[in-house]
């Protein structure tokens, strides 16, 4: 009898695990599609004749601060009411900025890049490590992403990249192509991989091996000449 109940429990646990994985995959695709749409909308605005050349604004800063003083209480109430009706994507983006798009042709990856590498940023997308170079700038631009199926797994196949493969990053109207130069594994304590460099490089970081995630897989690329 006990074995029977144990078998039922294991079956239900397996079904629940699969259901959670499917739901997370659906959520990741939903949020990522919306983030890419938001970024594409930003690019369309930059390309528009109506966009002034001297105006530069972030893609999205949902948690914007009202600059004008003396805002009437009725306006504040209206703003609060509007905030309550924000979409799930708007709430997810709160205080975050979409800084670009990463494409890895060999892995069929195209994902939005958010500023920051906290759990909220990495749950559905790729994060840019604060304080490191921006894509295309001289120095070390560091991007982090997950590999497991419970989160955005855009770096799941990162181990398949070889020297010569392309990593493409689009930021505003600029496109930067990096060529993979090396890949290696380090421990979580090896923070030197975040150090700045004299060259223009990109460093992709994810956990390895899959399941235990005790180390960090590093893939580096140099800007194409």
What's CA 89's distance to the chain center, in Å? 14
Q: What is the rounded CA–CA span in Å between residue 102 and residue 42?
A: 16
Kindly calculate the radius of gyration of the chain based on its CA atoms and give it in whole angstroms.
21
Q: How distant, in Å, are the alpha carbons of 87, 119, 153, 200 from that of 96?
A: 15, 12, 20, 25
Q: What is the rounded CA–CA span in Å between residue 81 and residue 86?
A: 9
Q: What is the rounded CA–CA span in Å between residue 50 and residue 114?
A: 26
Beta-sheet pairing, 174-186 with 166-171: antiparallel
Q: How distant, in Å, are the alpha carbons of 58, 171, 177 from that of 225?
A: 28, 18, 9
Residues 95 and 130: beta-carbon distance below 8 Å: no
- Residue 146 annotated to the active site: yes
CA torsion 50-42-139-95 (nearest 10°) is: 120
For residue 211, what is the enclosing H or E element? none
Q: How distant, in Å, are the alpha carbons of 21, 168, 207, 216 from that of 212?
A: 18, 29, 9, 11
Active site residues: 146, 207
């Amino acid at each position: 009898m006990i074995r029977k109940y144990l078998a039922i429990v294991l079956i239900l646990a397996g079904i629940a695990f699969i259901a959670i994985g499917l739901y997370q995959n659906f959520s990741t695709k939903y949020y990522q599609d919306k983030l890419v749409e938001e970024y594409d909308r930003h690019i369309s605005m930059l390309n528009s004749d109506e966009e002034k050349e001297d105006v530069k604004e972030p893609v999205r800063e949902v948690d914007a601060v009202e600059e004008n003083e003396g805002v009437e209480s009725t306006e504040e109430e209206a703003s609060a009411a509007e905030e309550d009706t924000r979409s799930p994507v708007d709430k997810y983006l709160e205080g975050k900025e979409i800084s670009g798009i990463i494409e890895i042709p060999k892995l069929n990856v195209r994902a939005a890049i958010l500023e920051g590498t906290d759990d909220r940023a990495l749950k559905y997308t790729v994060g840019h490590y604060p304080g490191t170079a921006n894509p295309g700038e001289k120095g070390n631009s560091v991007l982090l992403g997950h590999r497991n199926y419970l989160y955005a797994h855009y770096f799941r196949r990162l181990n398949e990249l070889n020297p010569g493969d392309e990593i493409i990053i689009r930021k505003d109207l600029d496109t930067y192509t990096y060529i993979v130069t090396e890949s290696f594994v380090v421990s979580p304590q090896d923070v030197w991989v975040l150090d700045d460099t004299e060259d223009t490089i990109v460093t992709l970081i994810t956990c390895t091996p899959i399941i235990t995630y005790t180390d960090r897989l590093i893939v580096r690329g140099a800007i194409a000449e």
